[in-house]
Amino acid sequence: MNSIALPDQETLYDKILGCWMGKNCGGTLGGPLEKCYSEAEPFNASYYSEIREGGIPNDDLEIQLIWLKAVEEIGLDLTAHDLAQYWLDHVAYNFDEYGLMMTNLRFGLLPPVAGYYNNYFRDCMGCPIRTEIWACIAPGQPRLAARYALLDSIVDHAGGESLYGSLFNVTVEAAAFSVSDVPTLIDIGLSYLPKESLTARCLRAVLAAHADGGDWLEARRRVIEIGYHINAQFSPPNIAFQVIGWLYGKDFGDALCKAVNCGYDTDCTGATLGSFLGIIMGAKALPERWAAPLGDALATSDPNGVKNLYLPPNPSPRSITELTDRVIRIQKLVEARFGAAPTDLASLYADAATLQSVNQPPTVLTFPLTHRLDLTLDYLDTPQIAAGETKEIRVTAHSRHPEPMPATLRVQTPVGWTATPATIPLTLHPHQPWTGTVTVHAPERAHLANSQSLYFHLQPERRPVLSPSPLVLIGAPTYLKSTLFPADGKTAAELIDHPFAPETAIGSLTEPNARGTEWSAVLSDGNDVTGCLSGFKSGVVYLRSFLHSDQEQNLWLHTCSRVPAKVWLNGKVILESKATRPLRPAAWGSGEGGLHGELPVRAGWNEVLMKFAADDTCPPFACHVLYSDKKRLHAGVTDLLRPRFPWDE
């Protein structure tokens, strides 16, 4: 089968309609079964446990309504930076990577860095679940669909395995408009993934189990053996569970049930497999038993999850039929712009250009200054910087102008910061990148903010003035670490109850010696304080953090610790847990018994004292500290000053 063809317009419409209907079916089946943590045993779903007109509202589908608005309003040249703006305008929930990414955006970071830095969940399912929009506007063109899906995915998952899940899903979906053979479609999807990626390994485990004659439970066992994670939303095994349902399902309903019954992120696996099958089968062939109860309506969580979807002048569609009509209109624009879908099978597989884009580092920002001139800024590692540190920024200019141009690069820094060199004269040659390095010098703690913006201004001589390119640096959160207090035979729970010297204040809580004992300054990696207590295995250790708030406000704190812990705010105990727990550092908390709750900060400086206790039975220490507002959806806060101590002023 080397020659292929996109279906006629009527069939194409039916397949796009089937895609959305199938997704709604699978999401409605799996939604009620989704949990935060993975479970060892499979589930036993056989039909919907809850039926609503329009299905159950689900981020898998409703975020794609936002992307539809973005494409309609911006056009086919939209960027990851554009999508980031639509996130802030239209997404209110802060689940896992969504919340961490949007906090980064509010700090001023741009994609892909906003999806990479301080994002524990960048290997999770947030982006593989929203690929259908890109496949449906580029049916039969998986390379093009992959390009759009990457723009989408790097906003909240840059540098993570989830990019590979997105690529697999979107290329299978796009190719399924031209090819219906399941092994061929899986092979096409795999061609876009690095062979050594965990996602590819989990997928190959399913194929091997199927080839060996194992049943779907054996295939599931092999996937979990390779890709187990306590977080049910970890993407590599979930991508494989979709394929288990696909290969082992006897029909549409059985396939969805087998995918969902693998467990983990059940609404996502069911929804994506539903879209696979819906594209291949078309809406007319979907079983009435599964499709009819949900009807044509589109259920969303607006305004309590997504928001501002239905405002004029371009309200989102309220039915699957309207969604399909609008997608078809964009598909015609895509075809007019990029050409018709290929008619040879080889063109559905990944090419070198696509694979190169997949491997772009997540620390690089690219700014198109003109149609023929780009400026690239590379953090090289992280946007975080500590007081007194230096950080190198790699700067690259790409000119496609036909003649050499003399130019000057100037770096503008905040007060107290310096850049070396601050001014660089250079010549831009056609199609010959210019690369240089600028070293940024951070000030002392008293002048370090949560985030600060530098501006790189590349200006060719005798040309219209160009806009400067921003680069945001995040001030490293600063803590004081106590000396270690030995366990002396006590359990971790007993140690939590046993008071040590730091629990008795001997002065103002905003003074360095208020807690007695010896303290040393340490830096966290974003929310992750694990490295602050490197080597901590047994006994008790304390961390002191100082927060400056411009106003009195009631916030929310999640001290996501694997080991027992206790937290004081301004000398008063506010959180305590004697249990060990899995690590799941989401803003809202980590489930019943988690160390999360209200944080009533006062105007000015506040002291947060954290006590961690461990014995030989505890898991390895790890902890993330997250601050959010107290509202139901827990948006991350950016106005608590964390990189300084009160006595720095």
Give domain status of residue 578, yes or no: yes
Question: Tens of pLDDT along 432-469?
Answer: 999 999 999 999 999 999 999 999 999 999 999 999 99
Q: Is the pLDDT of residue 421 over 60?
A: yes
What's the whole-model pTM score?
0.96
Percent over 70 (pLDDT), the chain: 100
pLDDT digits (tens, 9 = 90+) for 78-105: 999 999 999 999 999 999 999 999 999 9
Same domain (yes/no): 338, 312: yes
Report the pLDDT averaged over residues 10-19: 98
d(CA 62, CA 67): 9
590 band by pLDDT with thresholds 50, 70 and 90: confident
Is residue 222 included in any domain, yes or no?
yes
d(CA 285, CA 180): 14
Q: Residue 107 pLDDT > 90, yes or no?
A: yes
How far apart CA 25 and CA 399 sit, in angstroms, is: 49
Which of 317, 336, 358 is the endpoint of a domain? 358
- Please, which pLDDT band fits residue 278 given cuts at 50, 70 and 90? very high
**What average pLDDT is seen over the chain?**
97
Same domain (yes/no): 254, 133 = yes
**190 backbone φψ class: left, alpha, beta (φ>0; ψ -120 to 50):** alpha
Q: How far apart are CA 108 and CA 428, in angstroms?
A: 29
Q: 370 pairs with which residues across the strands?
A: 373
Which of 358, 381, 415 is the endpoint of a domain?
A: 358
Q: Are 285 and 11 in contact (CB under 8 A)?
A: no
Q: Does 569 lie in the same domain as 469?
A: no
Distance CA 3, CA 389 (A): 59
CATH at residue 191: 1.10.4080.10
Q: Are residues 407 and 531 in the same domain?
A: no
pLDDT tier at 26, thresholds 50, 70, 90: very high
Does the pLDDT of residue 391 top 60, yes or no? yes
Q: Do both 527 and 423 map to the same domain? A: no
Instruction: Please report the pLDDT score of residue 507 as a whole number.
Output: 87
How confident is the model at residue 593, as a pLDDT? Answer: 78
Say what the pLDDT of residue 5 is: 85
Residue 6: what pLDDT? 86
Spatial separation of the C-alpha atoms in residues 513 and 179, rounded to whole Å: 70
Q: Is residue 3 part of a domain?
A: no
Contact assessment for residue 266 and residue 42, using Cβ atoms and an 8 Å cutoff: no
Residue 124 buriedness (CB in 10 A; 0-12 / 13-18 / 19+): buried
Integer angstrom CA distances of residue 222 from 200, 266, 273, 427, 466: 13, 18, 20, 56, 55
pLDDT score of 632: 87
Q: Copy the structure tokens of residue 484.
A: 């270690």
CA gap 459, 436 in Å, rounded: 15
**260 with 199, same domain?**
yes
| Choice among 290-304, 479-493, 583-597 with the minimum mean pLDDT | 583-597
For residues 330 and 368, state if they share a domain: no
Pick the last residue of a domain from 358, 377, 394.
Answer: 358
What does the alpha-carbon distance between residue 63 and residue 320 come to, in Å, rounded to a whole number? 14
Residue 74: enclosing H or E segment and its boundaries?
helix 59-74
In a domain, 5, yes or no: no
Contact present, 421 and 438 (Cβ < 8 Å): yes
Domain shared by 591 and 619, yes or no: yes
In this structure, what are the phi and psi dihedrals at residue 385, rounded to the nearest 5 degrees?
-145, 145
Residue 1: pLDDT above 70?
no
Q: Does a structural domain hold residue 583?
A: yes
What is the model's pLDDT at position 56? Answer: 85
The per-residue pLDDT for 53 is 82
7: in domain: no
Residue 386 lies in a domain: yes
Query: What is the domain-level CATH number for residue 599?
Result: 2.60.120
3-class SS letters over 577-619: ECCCCCCCCCCCCCCCCCCEEEEEECCEEEEEEEEEEECCCCC
CATH of the domain at 391: 2.60.40.10
Residue 350 pLDDT > 60, yes or no?
yes
9 part of a folded domain: no
Among 143-152, 296-305, 542-551, 585-594, whose mean pLDDT is lowest? 585-594
Q: Phi and psi at residue 29, in whole multiples of 5°?
A: -65, -45
- Do 544 and 516 belong to one domain? yes
Residues 442 and 554 reside in one and the same domain:
no
Q: How confident is the model at residue 516 (pLDDT cuts 50, 70, 90)?
A: confident
Q: Is the pLDDT of residue 2 over 80?
A: no
- Regarding whether 598 and 485 lie in a shared domain, the answer is yes
Q: How many whole angstroms separate alpha carbon 52 and alpha carbon 192?
A: 37
Cβ-contact 313, 62 below 8 angstroms: no
> Residue 426: helix, strand or coil by DSSP?
strand
Residue 467's domain spans which residues? 364-474
Number of folded domains that form the chain: 3
Dihedral pair phi/psi, residue 227, rounded to 5°: -120, 25
Q: How far apart are CA 114 and CA 491, in angstroms?
A: 40
Distance CA 505, CA 513 (A): 9
| Whether 315 and 416 share a structural domain | no
